[in-house]
Structure 1
Amino acid sequence: MEKRIQSASLLLDASLGHCFVDGLEHRDESVIYNCLRAYAAIDNTSSAEEIFRTTVVAPLVQKIIPHGPSGVAVGTSGDGLENDYQEIKTCINKDCKFLLEISSAENSGLHVFDFLANSILKEVLSAIQKGKPGAFSPGRPTEFLINYKSSLDFLAHLEGYCPSRSSVTKFRAEAIYNEFMKQWNVGVYFSLRFQEIAGALESALAATSLIPVHNSHSGHWNSQDLTLKQSITLLESLRSCWREDVLIFSCADKFLRLTLQLLSRFSNWLSSGLDARKTGNTSSNSGYEWAASAVPSDFLYIIHDINCLVTEVCGGYLDDVLQLLSSCSVDILDLVKQSILQGGKSLNGLTPLVINAITESLVDEAVKGLKDVKAIATTFRMTNKPIPTRHSLYVSGLLTPLKKDFLDTEKHSPYLTKETMNELRHGAATAITGRYYDMVAEIVSVARKTESSLQRLKKGAQRRTGVSSDVSDPTVSDTDKLCMQYFLDIQEYGRNLSTLGVDAKEIPAYQSLWQCVAPLDRQNVIRL
């Protein structure tokens, strides 16, 4: 009995198959409709889908993506799919649309068929696997992305034939649809892009020195131009994450993470380099050689670039990213915005560290001239030198580093705002003055203690010899002469500060310095 049933089923399938093929060849709507009704009635939709695939779809696709029976590509050039998809779309509209309309007709009872997935998409996938297997390879990221986006566009085109949202959902749930999507290894693609983008920044940051790439005399510069290769590479890397020829929307979260990692890496490179410079850990192969070789003018470029980067990242760059992700929910967009703004804020927080590095460098250079301050003390010790009437020569050189680096407005004004320039000048001047005061105060203190000890010894000797000491010595002491010399020096120093735009009277250390060496009748008012 089972054999008879089996034989009858095979006979029915064969007869129905011949009838369906004949209907397809002649595009007989009535025959096709009745055959599909029969297939649906016996619950054998897969046979109808397979017949349509082999009879109609396969010959069309074979002409577009030719391949031999063994799966070897025949007469193809390259692995691009964009043009192939365009031709396939035309063929679907011309040779497949009639069946799709019959099977999707309202109240037809034929919605159990899915010719889009199990006939058309199945054949297209098979043809690509046999004729252009390299199209799925992420090893060539640029070509892979073009093919991937073309494939998504092709799927969207197929979904356009779905009569309802539920049929779109059904189409996407088909096994062949998921198999097609699995061919595109976007995870490997992102890994390659990660290496490419992050690697470019790492190479730039590995340089042993800061690399200026801008010539301010070229005539094409504006205040938003970056000046260092490291900064330019960072911005290029950030933009690469969201370029149309790089971004895959389904990996947007990964590209956002990469964006934040790039900002963090640059910030860490800069802050660690500054710390290493401060501690002296800038030996060869430390990764921070650039910090050791940097001069104050190099740090000016860093400050300028930080300002430009923060403006761009928190401005136009952020707007572009949010525009690309505009289809996301408001909550997600807010998270993206806050994370990028936080990255920009962290970058901006490096400016004070750079200013400190400049200040320390200028102070270290300036205090070399303070060695003559100690030498002056010896010239007035136990000598008969007259009371000084003019300042020492060393004073004019104390502020030379500031004059050299911050009075050349033609060279530096394009890179720094007036506020930053003033902050640098006041910071460096305050630090230098503090070191100046510490040295002078110590020398004067020692001199006064020494003088006091000598006077006590002198009085003791006078008492032993019976010589009267009631009459005060009218001569000016060595300490008074020393203080007068320092007083003349700090007056000239204060005038030099004024030429830099710094008011010496506003510096606490200068006030203390003035009171330390000024004559008693001039200690209350600072007049230069």
Structure 2
Amino acid sequence: MSVLSPAASSSSSADPFQLERLAEELATRELSHPAQSYPQDGSSHDLPIYTPLSHENPFLSAEKFDVEAFLLSRSHTSLQDLRAELRDYLATLKEELVKLINDDYEAFISLSTDLKGEGERLTGLKQPLGALKSEISLSKTELRAIQDEIMLKLEQRTVIREEKALLHLLLKISESVTRLESLLSITNPSQDEEPVEYEQFKVSATSNTTENNNERSPANKAKHLNRAAAEYTQLLYHASKARSENCAFVDEIQWKIDRIQSSLSSDLDALFASTLSAIAGDAKLSELEKNKILPDLTECIRTYDVLGLWRDAEEILRSEVMRPFIKKTVFTGALSAPHSPLLPHTPFRSSMGSGFSNSSSSMPPRTPFTPFTAFSTQQSAFPSSLGKTKSPYSRLLDDSDDPLARLYTQILRFVERDFSSIMDVAEKVSVKSRSSTDPFQIDTAENGRKRDGLGFDIMANVIWNELGKAIMDDLGGFVFASGRPDEFRKNYEITQAFIRSLEFMAPSAQSVQSMRAHPVYSMFEKRWQLPVYFQMRWKEIVSKVEDALALPVEPSGKPPGTADSLVTPQATSVWVALTACWSAEIYIPELSHRFWRLTLQLLSRYRVWLNDVVQDTNYGSLNSVNTINTGKVSEANTRSPTPGLSERPSLEAFSADESLLLRYVSLIADIKTLQFSTMNLWQEEICIMLPEPDELDGDGKSLDALENAVDAISALLRPMSSTVIAVLTERCIVPLNAVKKIRTDLRAKANKQLPTEPHPWITSVLRPLKVFFGLSGKDGIGAVLKTEYLDPWSKQIFENVCEKYISHVSTLKKAEESLRRLKRGPKNTTFSLFGSASPRDVEGRDEERIRVQLILDVEALRKDAETLGIIPGDSEAFVVLSNLVQSNDPPETS
């Protein structure tokens, strides 16, 4: 590392570090600033820490030596001392370098000595490498040839092993064929016979099998066939594997396999048919013997399941058991023919099926319309391990007076007696077969015997297939009587109860699903022309409602009865129609959406009719009274009375008003009753009968639709109430006409004392309102509305009466003021009508008497209003009236 500055390169020989120059500059600086060397306050500097030069010094170990930075870091040292220190450090470095060379010199010298002659040695090592490489290549070629030969031998052994396995497989097939022929007692034909004579083998095999079966005991027949079926499935499995290898041997013995299958199937069918005959009661066997045959029945069903011949077993059940019974029971005149009692093997079980829990959750929801609400699969069938309960629909079939119910009951008893045990056994076998993984089951289906589904389906393919076709073909004209709605609904109810009871006898939920998915079931459901039935019911219901709505609203001449009874025939017909839609005699669950729409349509039709009735009613004083109701009441109200509001004294007008009141009260009472009854009908019946929310618009939306329909009808209460208030207001303001005669009557009296009693006609002002609500001791027209409408109507009518009273008093004051000014002349001083007058002034006394009389009349009106529950202080018009009669100021002229 160089410690020389680049600027001093020219004088490096004389003074390489320019120490002389630096010393001179330092001395000059100290002489020019002597005061800065020592502090002013006389305190001394701390002595610097002396750090000797070493390898750890950062300035010496830096990549580029900085002379100025190094000198500044040693500014406390003089140049002479620094030079001496650097020379000492240089001597130290030289000494360490010499020591380092001395330590590694011996190794350096020995290294150069050891490398002598290594070149010739390396050259000698390269000479044998070529020969060694050629030998290795030759060995590699030989090894590859040996490997190819070994792989060829292994492939040949693999082929031989596969051929050997195939031969063993063919031997197994041959042994299985021989064993099955021995088990089934099949006689082998001579070698010169051709295998085309298959029918002869089949006949001979069948005869030999029959003879052999006669020699065996009945208890061993089923087990023997089950063993043969197991062997046959293995044969099919081995044959399928050999056929996948394109083995011609399998094709040559295929006729034997077919013969074995035919013999096994025929023997199994014969045994199963004989077992069914014994179980069904055709054979003359005791119950003990029949119970001994049940294991044979189980073995036969298990054998059918192993062979995959489920539909063959179901065909035997149809032909041997179900079809004969259907022919004897369900025919064209079956409903009119007497039914012979069906004797069960054992006392008839209380359950209508097996596999249903007795919990409340399994029972259908209680509804007042019908006991056969369509169940979901989970509700109509349950696992057989849950026990046995009675079908909730069986009570509908206990009606001995109905021939169709008796027929269905006989069918259910037959199915219960002859098929319940068979369905239970078949279901257990199918469940066990599905739970186990049998490798031969798929190959059995590949043998040309593959069916539409896996497992037994006796309820759908045997019972309902025969029964549904028989009912549609032989009894369809009576059962599906769509032109006779009453009979149609009764038959539909009984038939649905029969189907649900039949579903309760199903061994599993899957059986119920299969039954409902069966083509015969779909065809059977389509035969029920439910839209036609609804159209007939719709016409029947709507025609009665329309006939009632076409009648005029004729009041009966007497007030309505209680609040929970309908008065008008129109409301009664609408309510009857509403209840008819959900009654047990008409309602069908599958038509719930249609009956729900009809319910809303009936309410809408009644609303339209009410609207027409309200619009057709022309009451001349209605607008005038409404003007009074909506006008702003003020102390300066000087409106003139309406001519038509108080001038209807004729008997014809009174009779017309009475008829109008009776009509509107009846309509209002019917609307309130219909509103309450409709919502109550929803809570008790409709919400229960409607389908689930996801099947219709949703329970909340349905309720909203009903509430909107009811609210639309209730909206018509306001115009009818306004009309009733108008009529009652007109009757109440008639006595107020006497206010005009107060001035004449008081002036004509000889007694000039101040009056002390109100006029008798004051009690007649609110009397029509009391008579209307029946508060006067007699039954009034509006007595039925007293609870709900007495308070609001009384307040409104009292407000209208006060408005009219204000008008009369204002007119009276104006007349008195005009008369007073006329009599006084221009020279008289200003005089108030009701102001304090001089005792000598007669006119003043008359005016005071009029004012006192008005005050007494208004006070009497207030007390009479309080008897109706009215608070006069809350009435703005009464407050204005009270202030007006007590005021001494004349009314302002508008």
Question: TM-score with structure 2 length normalisation?
Answer: 0.45
Deviations 1:349-407 (A, max 9, x none): 55544433321221233345556666x49969xx9998895866765544342132132
Partner amino acid, structure 2, of 1:430:
E
Q: 1:134 to 1:489 in 2, by over 3 A?
A: same
Deviations 1:266-301 (A, max 9, x none): 444445433443567xxxxxxxxxx98744355455
Indicate whether 1:186 and 2:451 are aligned: no
Q: Is the 8 A contact 1:226 1:304 kept in 2?
A: yes
Task: Find the partner of 2:416 among 90, 93, 106.
Answer: 93
Q: Which residue of 2 aligns with 1:318?
A: 683
> Which structure has the larger Rg over C-alpha atoms?
2
Q: 1:499 to 1:434 in 2, by over 3 A?
A: same
Alpha-carbon shift at residue 222 of structure 1 (Å)? 7.2
Deviations 1:326-358 (A, max 9, x none): 976799444444444555555555554443332
Q: 1:398 to 1:275 in 2, by over 3 A?
A: farther
Q: Secondary structure at the match of 1:502?
A: coil
Give, in whole Å, the separation in 2 of the partners of 1:55 and 1:229: 63
Q: Which moved more, 1:421-430 or 1:324-333?
A: 324-333
Give, in whole Å, the separation in 2 of the partners of 1:302 and 1:437: 34
Give, in whole Å, the separation in 2 of the partners of 1:276 and 1:292: 15
Give, in whole Å, the separation in 2 of the partners of 1:405 and 1:509: 23
Give, in whole Å, the separation in 1 of the partners of 2:797 and 2:828: 50
Indicate whether 1:502 and 2:502 are aligned: no
Give, in whole Å, the separation in 2 of the partners of 1:156 and 1:108: 28
> Which consecutive unaligned segments of at least 5 residues does structure 1 have?
281-290, 460-468, 524-528
Partner amino acid, structure 1, of 2:328:
K
Give, in whole Å, the separation in 1 of the partners of 2:607 and 2:820: 56
Q: 1:292 to 1:51 in 2, by over 3 A?
A: farther
Q: Which residue of 2 aligns with 1:434?
A: 803
Deviations 1:139-196 (A, max 9, x none): 3333222222322232223333444333322221111111111111222323333334
Q: 1:212 to 1:472 in 2, by over 3 A?
A: closer
Identity of counterpart residues, as a percentage?
A: 23
Give, in whole Å, the separation in 2 of the partners of 1:122 and 1:113: 14
Q: 1:6 to 1:259 in 2, by over 3 A?
A: farther
Give, in whole Å, the separation in 1 of the partners of 2:336 and 2:564: 54
Partner amino acid, structure 1, of 2:683:
L
Q: What is the root-mean-square deviation of aligned Cα atoms in Å?
A: 5.1
Question: TM-score with structure 1 length normalisation?
Answer: 0.70
Q: 1:200 to 1:76 in 2, by over 3 A?
A: farther
Give, in whole Å, the separation in 2 of the partners of 1:91 and 1:213: 65
Deviations 1:106-159 (A, max 9, x none): 245884554433433233333333234132123333322222232223222333
Q: Is the 8 A contact 1:310 1:344 kept in 2?
A: yes
Partner amino acid, structure 2, of 1:238:
L
Partner amino acid, structure 2, of 1:179:
M
Deviations 1:39-59 (A, max 9, x none): 955x9x3x7656644553233
Q: Which residue of 1 aligns with 2:470?
A: 127
Deviations 1:20-55 (A, max 9, x none): 7666545573796489569955x9x3x765664455
Q: Secondary structure at the match of 1:415?
A: helix
Q: Which moved more, 1:75-84 or 1:358-367?
A: 75-84
Q: Which residue of 2 aligns with 1:401?
A: 768
Q: 1:301 to 1:74 in 2, by over 3 A?
A: closer
Q: 1:435 to 1:190 in 2, by over 3 A?
A: farther
Q: Which residue of 2 aligns with 1:170?
A: 514
Deviations 1:250-276 (A, max 9, x none): 233333333333444444444543344
Q: Which residue of 2 aligns with 1:462?
A: none
Q: 1:437 to 1:297 in 2, by over 3 A?
A: farther
1:445-524 map, 5 Å: 447=815, 459=826, 469-470=827-828, 476=843, 484=851, 490=858, 492-520=860-888
Q: Which residue of 2 aligns with 1:274?
A: 614
Q: 1:312 to 1:98 in 2, by over 3 A?
A: same
Task: Find the partner of 1:159 among 495, 500, 503.
Answer: 503
Q: Which residue of 1 aligns with 2:661?
A: 296
Alpha-carbon shift at residue 482 of structure 1 (Å)? 11
Give, in whole Å, the separation in 2 of the partners of 1:215 and 1:270: 20
Q: Which residue of 1 aligns with 2:793?
A: 424
Q: Secondary structure at the match of 2:586?
A: coil
Task: Find the partner of 1:355 among 721, 726, 747.
Answer: 721
Q: Is the 8 A contact 2:298 2:425 kept in 1?
A: no
Q: Is the 8 A contact 1:296 1:405 kept in 2?
A: no
Q: Which moved more, 1:110-119 or 1:425-434?
A: 110-119
Q: Which residue of 2 aligns with 1:288?
A: none
Indicate whether 1:116 and 2:459 are aligned: yes
Q: Is the 8 A contact 1:137 1:144 kept in 2?
A: yes
Q: 1:62 to 1:211 in 2, by over 3 A?
A: farther
Q: Is the 8 A contact 1:448 1:479 kept in 2?
A: no
> Which consecutive unaligned segments of at least 5 residues does structure 2 have?
1-195, 203-257, 280-295, 340-400, 435-452, 621-655, 832-840
Give, in whole Å, the separation in 1 of the partners of 2:701 and 2:793: 36
Give, in whole Å, the separation in 1 of the partners of 2:558 and 2:804: 36
Q: Is the 8 A contact 1:303 1:354 kept in 2?
A: yes
Q: 1:335 to 1:113 in 2, by over 3 A?
A: same
Q: Which residue of 2 aligns with 1:466?
A: none
Q: Is the 8 A contact 1:24 1:32 kept in 2?
A: no
Q: 1:349 to 1:471 in 2, by over 3 A?
A: closer
Give, in whole Å, the separation in 1 of the partners of 2:890 and 2:819: 22
Q: 1:5 to 1:347 in 2, by over 3 A?
A: farther
Q: Which residue of 1 aligns with 2:297?
A: 29
Alpha-carbon shift at residue 86 of structure 1 (Å)? 1.1
Q: Secondary structure at the match of 2:843?
A: coil
Q: Is the 8 A contact 1:433 1:509 kept in 2?
A: yes
Q: Which residue of 1 aligns with 2:405?
A: 82
